[in-house]
Structure 1
Amino acid sequence: MYFTSAQKKALTAVLVLFLCALAYREVESRLFPPPSVDFSVFEAKFAARFDSLQQVLAGDSLVPVRETVAQNLPQPAEGHSAEPAAATTVNINNAGIDQLTTLPGIGPKIAARIIEYRARTGKFQLPGDLMNVKGIGPKTYSKLQHRIVAQ
């Protein structure tokens, strides 16, 4: 392989720059060594946390955790009970908007559509006829089918 004089000069310049960069890094690392990092505080915290987790896993400590969680839950507002309201059935043939909106997935607009559909077509023969109302599909119906009757 033969190099022209210009190529030889360029190659020499690149090699000299490379050697200068290596020398600079070496001198810099000797004059200004990197600061040592002390991980002892981190290791102590990690060991303490690891030990506490091992104690939790070794013992049956789920009961105290449940009690602690129950104590930290927000308390119901005054006038509201912590127990859910008893699920009552709703007769879709004579229920008003207030009763219909107690059903899961039924808001005021869909309740108004149910009443409008009932006024237009007459009483519902089967609870499944409720799916003829716009906005009530199989998914919504499956949520409320156990709470409705058509009498």
Structure 2
Amino acid sequence: MKRLFGWLSRLSLTRTEAGVLLGLLALLLAGLVYRWWHRQQPAPPPTAEEAARFQEGAARMQQVLEPEPLNVNTATAEELERLPRIGPVLARRIVEYRKTHGPFRHVDELEAVPGIGPKTLQELRPLIRVE
């Protein structure tokens, strides 16, 4: 210890200043050791609430990535607008056609709606269903 204080005295520090400096260095070292130790600890298991939130988020993500086909007989105009190539006007036409002619029996009947042709129907086919 005398050697350490001797080395610090060469820095022209008083004994008190050297003690304070050593104390600060000791605190720094202790903090670094604690930080290293804390990072080595395994993460705590999730709580039931966190697990439920994660499962809800995963279910929503699944719906976004693989959406369930939309039933065109019960869908609103707003829901129909979410489909590709279907804007507000075409969505209203589908709803009006459904009100006038009754529910669709087959997906192919959508071609009877003005504005829906074979290309649009081909693109919509995997995204819609009729029940």
TM-score w.r.t. the length of structure 2 is: 0.49
TM-score (norm 1): 0.43
Q: Pick the structure with greater CA Rg.
A: 1
